[in-house]
Amino acid sequence: GRELGPGYVCPPVTGPSSTSPSVQVELCFAYNQSAGNPNYRRNITLAYTLEADHDRRPPRLRFARSQSAVLHGFFSMPETSCQKLELLLMDNVRDKLRPIIISMNYSLPSRMPDRPRLGLRSLDAYPVLNQAQAQENHTEVQFQKECGSDNQCHSNLQMRAAFVSEHLQRLTRLQYSRDVRKLLLSINVTNARTSVRAGEDAHEALLTLAMPSSLLFSFVRPSGACHANESEILCELGNPFKQNQRMELLIAFEVAGVTLHTRDLQVQLQLSTSSHQDDLLPVTLTLLVDYTLQTSLSIMNHRLQSFFGGTVMGEAGMKSVEDVGSPLEYEFQVNPTGDGLATLGTLVLGLEWPYEVANGKWLLYPTEITIHGNGSWPCRPPGELVNPLNLTFSDPGDRPPSPQRRRRQLDPGGGQGGQGPPPITLAAAKKAKSETVLTCTNGRARCVWLECPIPDSPVVTNMTVKARVWNSTFIEDYRDFDRVRVNAWATLFLRTNIPTINMENQSTWVMTTLQLKEEFLDGEDYNFLQGASDQESNGSANFYIKQEP
């Protein structure tokens, strides 16, 4: 019989730097005669099968002849010594680090005699394969790469990442409000050679970002470098990412799901490569979130025109709020936050209220505070500071008394012919065009703190504060002035135990002007004059009190 030796495949090296995306391989077979006639030179035909990348799907090469990764053929020996075959590189090959394995197996088609004959006969026409030799062969096609003579790439991918502002300033906290639309993430990736690491080509270099549902991928610069699915962003850095290469990415997110319950935003970044690098661990970026509520406070100014005068009345003689003095009314308006505070905090409207003058006498006497939103209800600040004397409201509308009643109050006899103390009028002693200002900051007034919780409501909430000018104090202490100004301060703030929720305090001045006038037209009717003020932005309100002669 005849025994055949194995064949072999001789491929060149190919790779991304090849001028043609193809591989030329040479297939060669030869046989050696192990017994019989040493001059035996008959043609022997082998059947062979070649397969490229048999352990990968999809394969990276295909045979030009078959247009697939598998090629079946025949080979005649010794008539043919070698065959040249062309393999084409598939498009968009990512793995250029690992070699392409071309496997080959061959067989000898069996032949049997046409008709059996008696006696001895030659077996030259029936060669057999040497069973001691493998009938398979494998060879490698290496891609050209800058990884040294051992074809092993040792990369040194390093990354720096940070959340940044629109001006590319590093952020450690996000001051979130409903005006915030975008959040930027700056990423810098390098592959530098160092004394410890070679920094060779990083093949199939990828950056994967896992992001929370509150962030939506918007865009990346450079454009097209990253692609997003529902929960991840994939950024192809290069194949290969060359030695000493640097890449900067700027990824923009839409801030769509941040709520009052959001304490931080976390993005996990993971570098990967098919090159050798054992220190590529995931990196988690955490951005703390300070949620800023947005609301506004304004005062709906009432221009009041009234007067005071008559006799001094002590507390013991007062029965109703009308005995105190002229009415005042302040109305504050709070726009809703729209964020649903629920149990996370409470909006509070506080008043630094001018309660008394420096000598301890009453100044502005608060009679009632009412909240108007989805319904109306009274507010009772702690400390029993509203209507502390429990005076009655004899007038259901808490309207100022009529002019006729005021005129009777100034009658020394009380309109009944009785004898009473002479009225104290202000016209006799006051100085021309004189004015004084009573505030808690200048020490001429003393203030108390009145506060009311504002409901977490989707509608505008109003708070109405009703008060009375303490008539006796002004008659006794300020009869020398044409005009007395009393300033108060209102502040809307957030009360919460959650440090990541905040709100900028909204404050406004409230100015009450008590203007004393001598002239009084008989039968003139004085009513509330309501309307928007040209000073509504700073919350001032003017109250004019006309002295009765």
Q: Which residue has the higher pLDDT, 282 or 527?
A: 282
What was the pLDDT predicted at 500?
A: 82
What was the pLDDT predicted at 385?
A: 94
Arithmetic mean of pLDDT, 2-24:
52
Percent of the chain, pLDDT > 90?
33
Report how far apart, in Å, the C-alpha atoms of 131 and of each of 2, 5, 8 are: 12, 10, 17
Q: CA nearest 216: which of 265, 147, 146, 168?
A: 265
Write out the E strands in 325-407: 327-335, 346-357, 364-373, 375-378
**Residue 185 has which token pair?**
């993430």
**Cα-flanking dihedrals φ and ψ of residue 484, to 5°?**
-125, 125
Of the pLDDT bands very low, low, confident and very high (cuts 50, 70, 90), residue 395 is low
494 Cα distance to chain centroid: 21
What was the pLDDT predicted at 371?
A: 95
Structurally, at CATH architecture level, domain 296-545 sits in Sandwich (2.60)
What was the pLDDT predicted at 345?
A: 86
Q: CA nearest 181: which of 129, 218, 212, 149?
A: 218
Topology (CATH) of 3-112+121-141: Immunoglobulin-like (2.60.40)
pLDDT tens across 152-207, in order? 889 999 999 999 988 889 998 888 877 788 899 999 999 999 988 888 999 999 99
Q: Which residue has the higher pLDDT, 423 or 159?
A: 159
Across 50-54, 311-315, 351-355, 395-399, least confident range: 395-399
Distance CA 203, CA 295 (A): 53
- Can you state the percent helix, strand and coil of the chain, rounding each to 5? 5, 45, 50
Interacting residues of 116 by C-beta distance below 8 A, sequence separation 6+: none
* 310, 409 Cβ separation under 8 angstroms: yes
Arithmetic mean of pLDDT, 227-255:
92
**Cα-flanking dihedrals φ and ψ of residue 370, to 5°?**
-130, 135
Query: Taking 70 as the threshold, does the pLDDT of residue 108 lie above it?
Result: yes
Distance CA 358, CA 363 (A): 10
Same CATH topology for 157-293 and 296-545? yes
Our CA angle for 519, 522, 524, nearest 5°, is: 90
State the SS3 of 186-234: EEEEEECCCCCCCCCCECCEEEEEECCCCEEEEEEECCCCEEECCCEEE
* 360, 486 Cβ separation under 8 angstroms: no
Arithmetic mean of pLDDT, 279-297:
90
Of the pLDDT bands very low, low, confident and very high (cuts 50, 70, 90), residue 94 is confident
- Taking the model in full, what pTM does it have? 0.59
- Domain coordinates of the chain in residue numbers? 3-112+121-141, 157-293, 296-545
pLDDT tens across 514-535, in order? 765 443 333 333 333 333 333 3
Topology (CATH) of 157-293: Immunoglobulin-like (2.60.40)
Distance CA 260, CA 22 (A): 59
